[in-house]
Structure 1
Amino acid sequence: MIVNKDDSMIVKKWEKYKEYLENGLWHVHTNYTDGKNTVFEMCQKAQEKGFPAIIFAEHVRKTLNYNFDDFLSDIAKASDKLDIKVIPGCETSIMDSQGNLDISEEVAKKSEVVFASFHRPVQNYADYLLSVVNMLKNPIVDVWAHPNIIPKGLSSTGVMIPLEPGMTVEELQTIMTLAAKNKILIENNIRYKTPKDFIDIAKIQGVRVITAYDAHRVGDLDNLDEYKGSYIPKNQFSLPLV
C-alpha cells in the first residue's frame, strides 16, 4: 500500500488489476497447501472456463512448510505458457485483536494480493470486532476473505465449523465504511455463501465486492453454477435494504 503525503489517497497493489474485479477467478488454492491440483492445472482450467485472469490466495504463515519462491516460479511458468493473466496472492490468518497477520514481510512484499481471514477459533465477540477493525487498518491487507465466517472450531475432516458473526446493522455499516476508506475488497465467497444482505450493506457503504470462488481443485470450476460449500448461512439482518 502507498499513501501520499497528506494521507488522502491510498493506493493498493490490487488496483493494478481492477479490470479483473468483476470477471477474474479470485481466491484459488493449489497443492502447495490444501488444494488438490498444481498451479498450472488450476490456470489451465481457469483459461478453459473463459476467465481472463486467475488470482491465487495460497495459504501462508510466518513460517512456511513450502518454498514460496517455488510457488512464484510455477506462476511465472504458467503465465508464459497460457493466455491468461496469472496473479500471485496469498491468504493469511488474522492472529489477534490488534489485527496482526500470520505472514512474513518478505511474502507480503512478493504477493500482489493479500487476503486476510479468520481461521482460528474466536470466542470473545468484542475481541472479534476489534480484530476486524484493526485488520482493516493493516496496510498489508487487500481483501477480507470469507468475511461472514468466524470459525468456532474444526470438523473431523479439518473443515471450519462456522459461527455467524451476528453483527448489528450499525456495527457492519461502521466496519464497511472503514473498509471502503482503506480500499479493502470484500469477498462474496461462493464456498461459504456470504449472505446477500451482508454484501448489500458493503456496497451501500462504498466497498468493492469481488466474487471469490475459494477453489481448491479443478473440479470446483467444472460446474460453477452448482459449486457450493456445505454451509449456507441465512441472511443475518431483517432490515429491508435498498
Structure 2
Amino acid sequence: MYAQEKKSAGKPVFRRFRELDHAHLNVELQVHTTWTDGQATVLEILSTVKERGLGAVAFTEHVRKDTPWFLEFKNEVVTFARGFEGLHVYVGCETKAMDDNGRLDVSQQVLDACDIVLGVVHRLPDGRGGYLDFKQLSFERTAEIEFQLSIGMIRNAPIDVLGHPGGMSLRRHGRFPEAYFREMMTAALERQIAIEINSSYLVDMPAFLHLCEEVNPFVSIGSDAHRLSELGHCRDQLLELGVGRL
C-alpha cells in the first residue's frame, strides 16, 4: 500500500473501501503535534506509532495561508523519521475551505512541500471575509453550507483527502444527511480523492461504513489524533467492526 520511501515527495496510495485488508487499515493518516494543537512531539508520536505496530503515519498539521514554520516542521519530521526503519512517514497538512469553489487557506509553498493534503470544513465563511456563527444556524443550514464547501473542495481543490466529512454538523448536531454523504463519496470517487474515515468525528460509524460499502470510494484512515492515547484508534475501531476481512 505504501510503496514510497519516507524521504520521497510521493503520496500515500489510497485503496477503495471494498479492497481494504488488515495492512491497509494499519495506518494513522491524521495526526497533530505540539507544532499546532497536539499534545505530543513528533518524536513521541513516532515512537508510539512504532510501539503500536502501525505501518504508516501522516503528520497533518493545521495550516493557514500565512503559516511561516511549515518547512521547519517538515525538516523535523523527516530527520526523526530516519530513525524508524520500516515505518512509512508522510508530511502533510490540514487546511480549511474558504468558499464553495474550493479555495483553501494555505500557501502554495506548503502545498508543494506536502505528501498528503487534507481539505476540511472548520468554519463557515459568510462571503464577506468573516465567518457565520454556528449558534445562529439551524442543523439544516449548517449541513447545507458544509456540504457545499465540501463539494467545492472535492471538485476543485488540490487535496488528496476530504477530512472528517460532515464534521461540523456531526459535532454540533450529532448528524449529517445520508444523501450528502453519498453525493460527496460519489464526487470524490470520480476525482479519485479519498474520503476520510475519522473515528473522532463519526457518531455512527456502522452507518457510514454501510455507505462506503455501497459507493466504494477511496478512503483514508485517520483518528485525528491529538494525544498519544488516540494513535491507532480508527484502525482498532474498524477492526472491531469487521472491516478488512477479505
TM range (shorter): 0.7 to 0.9
Identity %: 28
Is residue 2:234 matched to residue 1:216?
no
Change (3 A) 1:120 1:103: same
| Corresponding residue for residue 4 of structure 1 | none
Following TM superposition, by how much is the alpha carbon of 1:110 offset from its aligned partner in structure 2, in angstroms? 0.7
User: Greater share of helix residues, 1 or 2?
Assistant: 2
**Is contact 1:187–1:209 with CA below 8 Å preserved after alignment?**
yes
For 2:173, the aligned partner's letter is L
For 1:193, the aligned partner's letter is L
Distance 1:115 1:178 in 2: 16
Distance 1:103 1:21 in 2: 29
* TM-score, scaled to structure 2: 0.73
Is residue 2:121 matched to residue 1:137?
no
Following TM superposition, by how much is the alpha carbon of 1:201 offset from its aligned partner in structure 2, in angstroms? 1.5
Instruction: Give the aligned length.
Output: 204
**Is contact 2:63–2:94 with CA below 8 Å preserved after alignment?**
yes
* TM-score, scaled to structure 1: 0.74
Change (3 A) 1:134 1:165: farther
Alignment of 1:59-74 (within 5 A): 59-64=62-67, 66-74=68-76
Question: For 2:103, which of 77, 87, 100 is the aligned residue?
Answer: 100
User: Greater share of strand residues, 1 or 2?
Assistant: 1
Alignment of 1:200-239 (within 5 A): 200-221=210-231, 224=233
**CA displacement 1:89-136 (0-9 Å, x = unmatched):** 110111122221111111011111101111114644443332221110
For 2:50, the aligned partner's letter is Q
Change (3 A) 1:115 1:21: farther
| Corresponding residue for residue 115 of structure 1 | 118
Match of 1:162, SS? helix
Question: For 2:31, which of 28, 34, 38 is the aligned residue?
Answer: 28
Distance 2:14 2:83 in 1: 20
The answer for unaligned runs of 5 or more in structure 2 is 1-9, 125-133, 238-246
Is residue 2:100 matched to residue 1:58?
no
**Is contact 2:12–2:116 with CA below 8 Å preserved after alignment?**
no
Following TM superposition, by how much is the alpha carbon of 1:15 offset from its aligned partner in structure 2, in angstroms? 4.7
Q: Could you say what the CA RMSD is over the residues aligned between the two structures, in angstroms?
A: 2.7
**Is contact 1:42–1:218 with CA below 8 Å preserved after alignment?**
yes
The higher relative CO (CA closer than 8 Å, separation ≥ 6) is in 2
The answer for unaligned runs of 5 or more in structure 1 is 1-12, 153-160, 229-242
Distance 1:77 1:168 in 2: 43
**Is contact 2:92–2:116 with CA below 8 Å preserved after alignment?**
yes
| Corresponding residue for residue 188 of structure 2 | 179
